[in-house]
Each structure stands twice: as C-alpha cells, then as structure tokens.
Homo-oligomer: A and B are copies of this chain.
C-alpha cells in the first residue's frame, strides 16, 4: 500500500458545522497521511479583548471543522483508526473567554437559573513554540505565568449513524467535540464507522486546556494537524477509544457526568476482557484498582470522561486492533 500525503486548507466558506449531512471535500485511503489546516472555535474572529464572542460570532457558526474526508473502503461496522502525528499551532497566540451562560461555574441554557450571566471577557495567550509555553496574563492584575504548551484537537469525528447530522459542539459515539487533552500528537483515535466513507472531520485545536475545561473554553488555536488513517475492517466500535504507546482508553460522553464515567469504564472492561482474555469481573476488578479517569469536558452538551489503563498491566496478548497504533506510529516516524 503506497502511502500518499494529502494536504487540505479550507476556505472560510468550506468549513463544516455538523458531523453528517455534508459532501466530502477529499478522499483518503488506508495509510494515507493528511495535513489539514483547522481554524479555532471562533472562526478566528476573536483576536483581542474587544472581540466578545457573543458579539463577533453568530450562531450556529461556531466550532468550524475541516472536512469531511471520505475514507475509501470504510463501511458501517468497520472501525476507523486515526493516528495524530503532529498538531502545530498556526499562530503565535491563542484565545480564551467566558461566554454567557456557558461553562461549569455558571447557570446555563440547561442548568437554567434566573441569575444574569457572568461578565463576558477575553484572555489572549502568547504561544512560544520554541519554549513550549502558553502565557497566561491576568486581565485585572499584572500576574503572568507560563503554562506548558500541550496542543490537542478538541473536535474530531465521523458522521453519526441513523441519518443524523450533529452540531460540531456535541461529543457523542461518533466523536465530535470530545475536548480531552489526551487527543494530542502520538495518540491513535478509534471511531466506529456509521456511514459509507466514514466522513472524518476535525477542528477546534487547543494550545492546552485544564481537565474539564471549566470555563467552557480552552486556549483556542488554529492548527496545522497531520494525521494518518487506517480502516480496520469488520470490527465495530460503540464509543470512541484512544491508544498511546503505553495506555488504552475508552471515552464516555453523557450527562449526568457519572454516566460518562459508567460508559467509559463499561467499554474499558469489555476492551480489557476481549484484548487480554480476562473474565468480566476480573477485568472490572483490575480496572477498578489500576484505572485512571481523566475528565475531558464538563461544559459541552455531553460531558466526557476517559477510562484508561496501562498496557503493561494486561496479559501479553495480541495488541489492540491488530497493532494498528504501533504500525502507524512507526510508518509516520519521519513525519513528526
């Protein structure tokens, strides 16, 4: 299989705002490498303190994604592996904000209250790729501090099943607005294919974010993201999964937050069971003592929690998804 590199840089009117319901912008084959430009969640319109998101952005034109990409040979019942090779900030700044009635520490459209919204405010962060830092600057005092640069893709997914088209704001079984820092370079994401061609799309880079994205907005950036794809035939996937060199992780998306936890652990127990040949309750016991549970977001229409376990803790057995993570990781080693 000859690996090809496809480059895609969407024009503003080519951005998508849903997963599903769109025609493909390009075709990829298993093994292909894609270099794609993504814009930030505000469409690049928030560039300084005066650019209040609720004023410069217009619903539903938030959280644009680049794509969808038609994946050759991907059919419902298959799994699509997406290996993130690199996520490079496109500019030397990122931006965050509060947003009226959005975030974890405010009443919202759904956790509705009669209180007026919090003040809407913008924070601009300097990004130093050389130093690997993201600079926080307080707005009401002179405190400034450098945080580690840790670029991630907030939104990545395929078309949902059941003839649905879902807003890019939503995380669910099809991926979408997962908003977890674990979606960094070096990670492989597994998504179940729901429609002919899978229809992969991505966007919403963050220079970094805290666990839960408390205020509802990360350090939002445009990126140049490079990834490789591979179709795993005949293996379905219910919920999004991740693999790194050392861990496997299941992602649950739901409200209330405990259901996201339950989904993630239920999926991880099943994964450990099938991958490592452990009986169900043995798998449940092992992940109960050894599992980590990084929180993705506690602000989006569905919240996300991950359930993770170290591969070294499992019986030596066939690797996950017949070794696609290692294979892709090696094949693209020169591209990082």
Nearest Cβ on chain B to A306's Cβ, whole angstroms:
10
A112 in contact (CB, < 8 A): yes
Q: Counting CB contacts under 8 A, is A235 at the interface?
A: no
Most buried by B among A113, A214, A307: A214
| A13 interface hit (Cβ, 8 Å) | no
Mark each residue of chain A from 292 to 327: 1 if its CB lies under 8 Å from any CB of chain B, else 0.
Answer: 111100100001010100000111000000000000
Complex interface bits, A1-30 against B, C-beta within 8 A gives 1, otherwise 0: 000000000000000011011000000000
A:144-197 near B, CB below 8 Å = 145, 147, 161-167
Pick out which of these stretches binds chain B: A36-44, A49-57, A82-90, A280-288: A280-288
Smallest CB gap from A194: residue in B: B60
Assembled-state Cα–Cα distance A298/B292 (Å): 13
Residue of B nearest to A144 (CB): B315
A279 interface hit (Cβ, 8 Å): yes
Is A114 an interface position by the 8 A CB rule?
yes
Q: Mark the stretch among A223-231, A241-249, A259-267, A328-336 that contacts chain B.
A: A259-267
Whether a CB of chain B sits under 8 angstroms from the CB of A203 is no
Known: A210-B292, A278-B143, A291-B214. A265 touches B164 (CB 8 A): no
A212 interfacial by beta-carbon distance below 8 Å: yes
Mask: chain A, 88-127; 1 = CB below 8 Å from B; 0 = not: 0000000010100001111101111111111101010000
Cβ–Cβ contact B165 & A281, under 8 A:
no
Chain B residue at minimal CB-CB distance from A169:
B162
Q: Contact at B278–A215, with CB atoms within 8 Å?
A: no
Given the known inter-chain contacts A18-B162, A313-B145, please indicate yes or no for A114 contacting B269, CB distance below 8 A.
yes
Are B291 and A212 interface neighbours, CB within 8 A? yes
Q: Is A134 an interface residue (CB 8 A)?
A: yes
B112 touches A262 (CB 8 A): yes
A112-B259, A219-B289 known; 9 new pairs, CB 8 Å cut-off, are: A59-B162, A98-B284, A113-B262, A114-B118, A114-B284, A139-B281, A141-B315, A143-B277, A212-B265
